[in-house]
Amino acid sequence: MQIIEQYSTPFYKNIVDLPPSMVRKLWKGNKIMILDIRTPQEYIEHHIPGSVLIPMDYLEVLSEYFSDKEVAVVCEHGNRARYATYGMPHLYKKRSIYMIGGMVGWMSMGYEVESGMDENGTKWEQWLDEKLK
């Protein structure tokens, strides 16, 4: 499989911008974790199956749970995800992927989505409770 990668800046070689089609190929091949940084309400409305919710406000506090993995960072339109990757590059030890277009781009391609809250949507609350004990 050929992966076309686009770097938005020469300063962060571990951050890559990819379209939803390439993110989906990596995700289907179990090569990346999809990190959803939207609010719980947005996650309930629709999310990528298997994505892990960590709301953007808690990324820094809970970074130990994803910093050692290759992640694709996803939000609704791509603005928060861009900030979470390029504005907080210290959170990712391995490659992080900014998914161009966010969930809107994903859904416009007709890719799979789920509704409702699941186990991956509540993990962040459990992790936060563990840290606060």
**114: in domain:** yes
Mean pLDDT of the chain: 92
**Domain of residue 81, CATH code:** 3.40.250.10
Reduce the DSSP state of residue 17 to 3 states and report it: strand
Residue 33's alpha-carbon distances to 9, 53, 71, in angstroms, are: 22, 11, 5
Helix then strand then coil, in percent of the chain rounded to 5, is 40, 15, 45
Tens of pLDDT, residues 5-27: 565 666 778 899 999 999 999 99
pTM for this model (two decimals): 0.90
Number of domains, the chain: 1
**60: in domain:** yes
**121: in domain:** yes
What is the helix (H) or strand (E) element at residue 98, kind and residue range? Answer: strand 96-99
- Within 51-101, residue ranges assigned H as helices are 79-82
